[in-house]
Structure 1
Amino acid sequence: MSCKPSVCCVVACLMPGYGIGYQGSLPWRLSKEMKYFRQLTSATRDSSMRNAVVMGRKTWESIPAKFRPLPNRLNVVVSRNCQLDINDEQTQFTKSRVGDDDDDDGGDDATLYAGDLSRAIDQLIANSKILGLETIYIIGGGDIYRQCIPMSHNLFITKIVPDLGMPVPPMDTFLDREQIESQFKEQPHHKLQEIVPKEVSLPQFSADSSSAPTISEKGFTYSFTLWSRDTQ
Structure 2
Amino acid sequence: MVLKFNVIAAVCEGGGIGANGTLPWKLKNEMAYFTKMTSKLPPGTEGKRNVVIMGRKTWDSIPLKYRPLQNRINVVISSTMESNDNSKDVMVFRSLSSALSALEMPPYSDFCADVWLIGGAALYTESLELPSCHRLYITKILKKFDCDTFFPPIPNRFTTIKVEDVPEEKQTENGIDYEYKVYEAASSP
Q: TM-score, normalised by structure 2?
A: 0.88
Counterpart check, 1:186 vs 2:160: yes
Superposed, which structure 2 residues align to 1:1-232 within 5 Å?
5-15=3-13, 17-45=14-42, 46-81=45-80, 92-96=83-87, 107=88, 110-127=89-106, 128-130=108-110, 132-151=111-130, 152-162=133-143, 168-177=144-153, 180-187=154-161, 191-193=162-164, 202-203=166-167, 212-231=168-187
Q: Is the 8 A contact 1:160 1:223 kept in 2?
A: yes
CA distance in structure 2 between the aligned counterparts of 1:37 and 1:95, rounded to whole angstroms: 27
Deviation at 1:82, TM superposition (A): 5.0
Deviation at 1:6, TM superposition (A): 2.5
CA distance in structure 1 between the aligned counterparts of 2:95 and 2:20, rounded to whole angstroms: 24
Which secondary structure state, in structure 2, belongs to the residue aligned with residue 146 of structure 1?
helix
Q: Is the 8 A contact 1:186 1:225 kept in 2?
A: yes
Q: Is the 8 A contact 1:146 1:176 kept in 2?
A: yes
CA distance in structure 2 between the aligned counterparts of 1:94 and 1:161, rounded to whole angstroms: 42
Q: Is the 8 A contact 1:4 1:134 kept in 2?
A: no
Q: CA RMSD in A?
A: 1.9
Counterpart of 1:104 in structure 2 is none
- Higher radius of gyration, 1 or 2: 1
Deviation at 1:78, TM superposition (A): 0.9
Q: Is the 8 A contact 2:8 2:138 kept in 1?
A: yes
Deviation at 1:93, TM superposition (A): 4.6
Deviation at 1:182, TM superposition (A): 1.6
Counterpart of 1:199 in structure 2 is none
Q: TM-score, normalised by structure 1?
A: 0.72
Deviation at 1:169, TM superposition (A): 1.7
Identity fraction in percent: 35
Deviation at 1:70, TM superposition (A): 0.5
Deviation at 1:81, TM superposition (A): 2.2
Give 1 or 2: higher strand fraction: 2
CA distance in structure 1 between the aligned counterparts of 2:85 and 2:169, rounded to whole angstroms: 40
In structure 2, stretches of 5+ residues that fail to align are none
Q: Is the 8 A contact 1:5 1:135 kept in 2?
A: no
